Structure 1
Amino acid sequence: MTTTDISAADDGGPTAKTTVTSFRLIEALKDRDGAGVTELADDLDLAKGTVHKHLNTLRRLDYVVKDGRSYRLSVSFLGLGTSARARLPIYEVAERPLEDLAAATGEVASLMVPEHGYGIYIGRESTGEQSDVDAKEGDRLPLHATAGGKAILSYTPPADREAIVEYRGLPKLTENTITDRDALEDELQLTRDRRMAYDRGEHREDRHCIACPITDRDERAIAAVTVSGPATRMKEKDASTDFASIVGSTINSIQNALNDGY
Structure 2
Amino acid sequence: MVATDIPAGTADNNRAETTVTSFRIIEALKSREYAGVTELAEELDLAKGTVHKHLNTLRELDYVIKEDHEYRLSLSFLGLGTAVRSRLPVYQEARQPLEKLTAATGEVASLMIPEHGYGIYVLRTYEGDHPDVNVNEGERLPLHATAGGKAILSYTPADERERILDVRGLPRLTENTITDRDALIDELRLVRDRRTSYDRAEYRENWHCIAQPITNEENRAIAAVTVSGPAERMEQKDSATDLASLVGSTVNSLQNRFYADY
Q: Same fold (TM over 0.5)?
A: yes
- C-alpha RMSD over aligned residues: 1.3
Superposition deviation, residue 166 in structure 1? 0.2
Partner of 1:158: 158
Superposition deviation, residue 206 in structure 1? 2.4
Partner of 2:49: 49
Partner of 2:215: 215
Encode CA deviations 1:60-114: one digit per residue, 9 max, x unaligned. 1000001112110000111100000011011010110000001100000000000
Superposition deviation, residue 11 in structure 1? 5.2
Flag the 1:9–1:50 CA change in 2: closer, same or farther, 3 A. Answer: farther
Structure 2 distance, partners of 1:34, 1:9, is: 33
User: Which AA in structure 1 matches 2:85?
Assistant: R
CA contact (8 A) 2:210 2:244 kept: no
User: Which AA in structure 2 matches 1:52?
Assistant: H
Superposition deviation, residue 47 in structure 1? 1.3
Superposition deviation, residue 230 in structure 1? 1.1
Partner of 1:10: 9
Partner of 2:82: 82
User: Which AA in structure 2 matches 1:77?
Assistant: F
Alignment of 1:1-262 (within 5 A): 4-6=4-6, 8-10=7-9, 12=11, 14-261=14-261
CA contact (8 A) 1:98 1:250 kept: yes
Query: 3-state SS of the aligned residue for 1:219?
Result: coil
Structure 2 distance, partners of 1:60, 1:2, is: 35
Structure 2 distance, partners of 1:244, 1:175, is: 25
TM-score (norm 2): 0.96
Structure 1 distance, partners of 2:2, 2:45, is: 33
Query: 3-state SS of the aligned residue for 2:93?
Result: helix
Query: 3-state SS of the aligned residue for 2:253?
Result: helix
Structure 1 stretches of at least 4 aligned residues deviating more than 6 Å after TM superposition:
none
Structure 2 distance, partners of 1:103, 1:208, is: 18
Superposition deviation, residue 46 in structure 1? 1.3
Query: 3-state SS of the aligned residue for 1:28?
Result: helix
Superposition deviation, residue 3 in structure 1? 6.5
TM-score (norm 1): 0.96
User: Which AA in structure 1 matches 2:257?
Assistant: A
- Note the residue ranges of structure 1 that are not aligned, 5 or more in a row: none
Query: 3-state SS of the aligned residue for 1:141?
Result: strand
Superposition deviation, residue 129 in structure 1? 4.9
Superposition deviation, residue 43 in structure 1? 1.3
**234-243 or 157-166, which moves further after superposition?**
234-243
Encode CA deviations 1:141-197: one digit per residue, 9 max, x unaligned. 010010000000000011000000001111111111111000100111111111111
User: Which AA in structure 2 matches 1:221?
Assistant: A
**9-18 or 173-182, which moves further after superposition?**
9-18
Superposition deviation, residue 218 in structure 1? 1.0
CA contact (8 A) 1:108 1:227 kept: yes
